[in-house]
Amino acid sequence: MRRASVSISLNIAEGSGCETDKEFNRFLSIALRSSYEVMCGLELAKRMKYCDETFLLEIYNRLDEIAAMISGFKKRLKAKG
């Protein structure tokens, strides 16, 4: 989960250096998939009772907001180009 969560910001950063919006969109897609991977990990952690459910819900909600921002950015890039 650590690797996937770090991958979100690293892919956005790497994509921001791309020369085209299409290429940047590809990195945003990877970041979005990484956020879904972390969401799945949080669900597993909840089911296995690894952490307090309230804490996991707070993290999940923040991650859901990040995923929505990435999706919105992808749509904006698509509309632009």
- What is the extent of the structural domain holding 7? 2-80
pLDDT at 75: 95
Residues 21-67 have pLDDT tens digits of 999 999 999 999 999 999 999 999 999 999 999 999 999 999 999 99
pLDDT at 80: 83
Which 3-state string (H, E, C) describes 12-70? Answer: HHHHHCCCCHHHHHHHHHHHHHHHHHHHHHHHHHHHCCCCCHHHHHHHHHHHHHHHHHH
CATH number, domain at 12? 1.20.1440.60
Average pLDDT, stretch 13-19? 95
pTM: 0.90
| CB crowding 13-37: b at 16 or more within 10 Å, else e | eebeeeeebeebbebbebbbebbeb
pLDDT at 58: 96
pLDDT at 61: 96
Into how many domains does the chain fold?
1
- How far is the C-alpha of 41 from the C-alpha of 64, rounded, in Å? 13
